[in-house]
C-alpha cells in the first residue's frame, strides 16, 4: 500500500471512532432519560418527546436506535435487570463464609432498592404488562440463571459446613429476599399510616435491614426443623 493510501486509511479510522463514540454516548443518554421517564410515568404515560429533550437528542434518533417506544421500554427493562444481576455477581461472595455471604447479599438487595428506587417502579410497570416485554430475552434468562446459581452455591456451602439446612430452593430464597425489601419500600406510604411509624426514617430503615437479615438466617439455619 502506498503512503497516501495508508494515510487515507488512518484518516478514515480516526473519523469512524469519534462517530462510534458519539453514537454510544447518544444511546446511553437516551437510555438514562428513558429509564427515568418510564420509572416516573410507566409505558403508557411516558412521552418520547420528553425523553428526547432529557437526552439532548431528537425523536428521530430514538426511533433510529430503538425502533419505537415499546422497544425502548423493553431495552430499559432488560438493562435494569442486567444491572442488578451484574452488581450481585461483583460482590465476590465466594470469599466469605456462607452466613456472611448471605448477610451481604440481603444487605446489598435492600441497599440497591434504596439507592435505585426507579428499579422498583420499573418492575411494577413490567408486571402491569404481564412481563411481555421481557419474554424471549436470552440476556434476562442468562443473568437470572447466574444469580440462581450464585445463591445455590451459597446454600450448598452452608449445608456442607453444617450451618444451613438441606433442601432449600434457591429460587424460593431469592423471591423471599427480594420480597421482604420490595414490599416494605413499595408500601412505605400506606405502611407509615397503617402501622403508625415513619417507614423511611433512618432508624426504621436500619431496624428493617436487621430484621430482614435475621429472618433469612433463621429461614436457612441448620437448627430449624
Task: Give tens-digit pLDDT for 142-191.
Answer: 999 999 999 999 999 999 999 999 999 999 999 999 999 999 999 999 99
- Residues 52, 62: contact at Cβ < 8 Å? yes
CA distances from 101 to 3, 110, 126, 200 (A): 59, 14, 30, 26
d(CA 142, CA 7): 44
DSSP 43-69: HHH--HHHHHHHTT--HHHHHHHHSSH
For 72-117, write each residue's pLDDT tens digit: 999 999 999 999 999 999 999 999 999 999 999 999 999 999 999 9
- Residues in CB range of 125: below 8 A, 6 or more apart: 38, 39, 42, 43, 73, 77
DSSP annotation of 96 reads S
User: What domains appear along the chain, each with residue ranges and CATH number?
Assistant: 1-67 (1.10.357.10), 71-225 (1.10.357.10)
- Three cell numbers written together for 84: 442488578
- Residues in CB range of 129: below 8 A, 6 or more apart: 43
For 118-135, write each residue's pLDDT tens digit: 999 999 999 999 989 998
Residue 24 has pLDDT above 90, yes or no: no
Q: What is the band of 225 on the pLDDT scale with cuts at 50, 70, 90?
A: very low
Amino acid at each position: 500500500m502506498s503512503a497516501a493510501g495508508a494515510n487515507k486509511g488512518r484518516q478514515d479510522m480516526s473519523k469512524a471512532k469519534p462517530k462510534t463514540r458519539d453514537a454510544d454516548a447518544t444511546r446511553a443518554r437516551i437510555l438514562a432519560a428513558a429509564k427515568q421517564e418510564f420509572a416516573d410515568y410507566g409505558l403508557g404515560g411516558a412521552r418520547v418527546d420528553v425523553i428526547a429533550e432529557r437526552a439532548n437528542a431528537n425523536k428521530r434518533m430514538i426511533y433510529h436506535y430503538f425502533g419505537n417506544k415499546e422497544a425502548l421500554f423493553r431495552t430499559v427493562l432488560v438493562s435494569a435487570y442486567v444491572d442488578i444481576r451484574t452488581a450481585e455477581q461483583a460482590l465476590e461472595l465466594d470469599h466469605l463464609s456462607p452466613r456472611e455471604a448471605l448477610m451481604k447479599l440481603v444487605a446489598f438487595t435492600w441497599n440497591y432498592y434504596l439507592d435505585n428506587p426507579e428499579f422498583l417502579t420499573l418492575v411494577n410497570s413490567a408486571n402491569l404488562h404481564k412481563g411481555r416485554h421481557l419474554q424471549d430475552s436470552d440476556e434476562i434468562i442468562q443473568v437470572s440463571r447466574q444469580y440462581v446459581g450464585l445463591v445455590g452455591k451459597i446454600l450448598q456451602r452452608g449445608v456442607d459446613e453444617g450451618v444451613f439446612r438441606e433442601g432449600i430452593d434457591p429460587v424460593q430464597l431469592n423471591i423471599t429476599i427480594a420480597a421482604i425489601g420490595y414490599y416494605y419500600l413499595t408500601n412505605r406510604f400506606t405502611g407509615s399510616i397503617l402501622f403508625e411509624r415513619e417507614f423511611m426514617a433512618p432508624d426504621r430503615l436500619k431496624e428493617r435491614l436487621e430484621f430482614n437479615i435475621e429472618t433469612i438466617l433463621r429461614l436457612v439455619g441448620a437448627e430449624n426443623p
